[in-house]
Amino acid sequence: MAEKVLLARVGRKDSRSIETYLEDGGYKALRTVLTSGWTPEKLTDEVKKSGLRGRGGAGFPTGVKWTFVPKDTKGKPVYLLCNADESEPGTFKDRLLMEEDPHQVLEGIILSSYAIKCRNAYIYIRGEFYLGARVLDRALEEAYAKGFLGQNILNSGYSLDVTVHRGAGAYICGEETGLIESLEGKRGQPRIKPPFPAVWGVFGAPTIVNNVETLACVVHIVNRGAEWFSKIGRNEKNTGPKLYCLSGHVVRPGVYEAAMGLPMKELLFGADYGQGMKEGKAVKAVIPGGASAAMLTADEIEDCPLDFDGLAAKKSMLGSAAIIVMNEDTCIVRAAQNLAKFFSHESCGQCTPCREGTPWLHQVLSRIESGQGRLEDIDLLEKISNQMANGMTICVFADAAIAPVLSSIGKFRDEFRFHVEHKRCLVGSGTRPRELVTA
């Protein structure tokens, strides 16, 4: 798939303005749906048929999620929340979509709101995206002025309000029930499920939470058909165009659009993508789906399609499609310590195994990294990890936190042992802030 769909307008002059969006065929999908007799059910069916799976991390079929809203809401409103909390380390695709093509995101939000009969939608955007929030606010003003939002949109009888709601710095608010709690003006601590948000979400009402990229896809499903969308990708369970966030030790990091299932090697080495490793170094490990995804070794990235099932088959995940590449000089112990620090800092503190376990993982990894480790610390890390996850906590944060620890030990155990026995890194690492303490 050489054609760009989601990124087609990125880089175009004045890509943020509604005028250029309209020139490029923008809001055509909205017009089609609202003025040519599409029912919300028809739109939902179309999205189901497209095979679109959520782009935020979990990969749940979007159209199916929408059908979980009860037919009879007993007089309660339905809410759509656009999850723009993009906080998974390594992920930066939604930032680009919002900053460069906000109307595409808005049109997706309006269409999706119509599908679930929502009259009031919120864009929950992470606090650090000041620019994204400003751009979206401006786009909202333009959309209201042109009658794409507000009362009786395009004389269809359908009305919708959209509000940009800024977060204030908390990774856990990307978890959908954490996001809901945060939107209600509380600490972003995830809720026990069930009830699921589609039944009992924000303000006690049925709520659908969809990722920015997911919502943007809906525009193109309407414009070009579910059939077209479903033909892009490796198979019928992994469909559509996909944004990949490539970072780390490659020549050309960036957001790249390709068909779902792009081979990992092509993303890293292809001329249209990463263009290979910086300074011709070898690949040591790749994190394929953000900090929460298990690391893969250089061998494992051979024949590795970047889609939901391709990475599940490697016992990792596509997650938010954040591909972080580490070269041969990277100290895996140090990388694992860095990831553990993130999770230790971001645990919401609600569940004991996670609140206590994440700092322990960070501390034990720091001990090994600083040359003070003992061989039994490696087993200890695995033991702590296994006591934290698999249903011990309210949300999957703890499962995410242990993935980099268990995968790095599982795949690079020798390097951990070397660190303990020799009190230094197995490899020269250019990334460490200070020389390792040699006791």
Partner 1 sequence: MEFPAQARARIEKILARYPTKQAALLPVLWVAQETWGWIPKEAAEEVANILDLSPAHVDGVLTFYTMYNLRPVGKSLLQFCTSISCHLAGAERLMERCAKRLGVELEQTTPDGKFTVVEVECIAGCDRAPSMMVNDTYYEPMDESKLDALLDRLAGQA
Q: Which one of the spans 19-27, 214-222, 374-382, 426-434 is the region binding partner 1 (CB under 8 A)?
A: 426-434
Q: Which residue of 14, 25, 70, 130 would you call a contact of partner 1, by CB under 8 A?
A: 130
Nearest approach in angstroms of CB 428 to partner 1 is 14
Rule CB under 8 A: say whether 87 interacts with partner 1: yes
Helix (H, G, I), strand (E, B) or coil at 208: strand
312 binds partner 1 (CB under 8 A): no
Contacting residues for 298 by C-beta, under 8 A, at least 6 apart: 282, 283, 284, 285, 286
Dihedral sign for Cα atoms in the order 213, 216, 218, 223: negative
Q: Shortest Cβ distance from residue 76 to partner 1 (Å)? A: 11
Binding segment for partner 1 among 86-94, 221-229, 355-363, 393-401 (CB under 8 A)? 86-94
What residues numbered 377-416 form the site for partner 1, per CB under 8 A? none
Residue 197 carries which DSSP code? Answer: T
Answer for which of 109, 232, 246, 378 binds partner 1 (CB under 8 A) is 246
Is 248 among the residues that bind partner 1 (CB under 8 A)? yes
Q: Which is nearer to partner 1, 77 or 225 (CB)?
A: 77
Q: How many residues bind partner 1 (CB under 8 A)?
A: 59
Token match 């004389």: residue? Answer: 155
Minimum CB–partner distance for residue 37 and partner 1 (Å): 31
| DSSP β-bridge partners for residue 277 | 250
We find the least distance from the C-beta atom of residue 42 to partner 1, in angstroms, to be 29
DSSP 106: H
**Of 48-56, 220-228, 229-237, 336-344: span binding partner 1 (CB under 8 A):** 336-344
166 binds partner 1 (CB under 8 A): yes
Q: Which is nearer to partner 1, 80 or 232 (CB)?
A: 80
Q: Does position 161 bind partner 1 by CB under 8 A?
A: yes
Residue from 75, 185, 280, 391 in contact with partner 1 (CB under 8 A): 185
**Smallest Cα–Cα separation from 210: which of 297, 121, 322?**
121
Token couple for 155: 């004389």
Does 254 participate in binding partner 1 (rule CB under 8 A)? yes
Phi-psi region of 321 (alpha: psi -120 to 50; beta: other; left: phi over 0): left
Q: Identify the DSSP state of 86.
A: -
Check residue 182 for interaction with partner 1 (CB under 8 A): yes
- Of 221, 290, 389, 348, whose CA–CA distance to 59 is shortest? 290
CA nearest neighbour of 319 among 296, 346, 290, 340: 290
Measured between alpha carbons, how far is residue 266 from residues 298, 411, 423 in Å? 14, 23, 37
Per the CB < 8 A criterion, the answer to whether 293 and 343 are in contact is no
Min separation Cβ 63 and partner 1, Å? 27
Number of CB atoms found within 10 A of residue 256's CB? 23
Q: Specify the residue, 222 or 267, whose C-beta has the smaller distance to partner 1.
A: 267
Residue 211 engages partner 1 in binding (rule: CB under 8 A) = no
Please, which residue, 178 or 305, has the CB nearer to partner 1? 178
Contact indicator for 298, 67 with CB cutoff of 8 Å: no
**325: β partners:** 248, 286
SS3 of residue 415 by DSSP: helix
Instruction: Give the residues lining the site for partner 1 (CB under 8 A).
Output: 77, 86-92, 94-95, 120, 126-131, 161, 163, 165-171, 182-188, 203, 245-249, 253-255, 287, 291, 322, 324, 326, 330, 335, 338-339, 342, 345-346, 348, 430-433
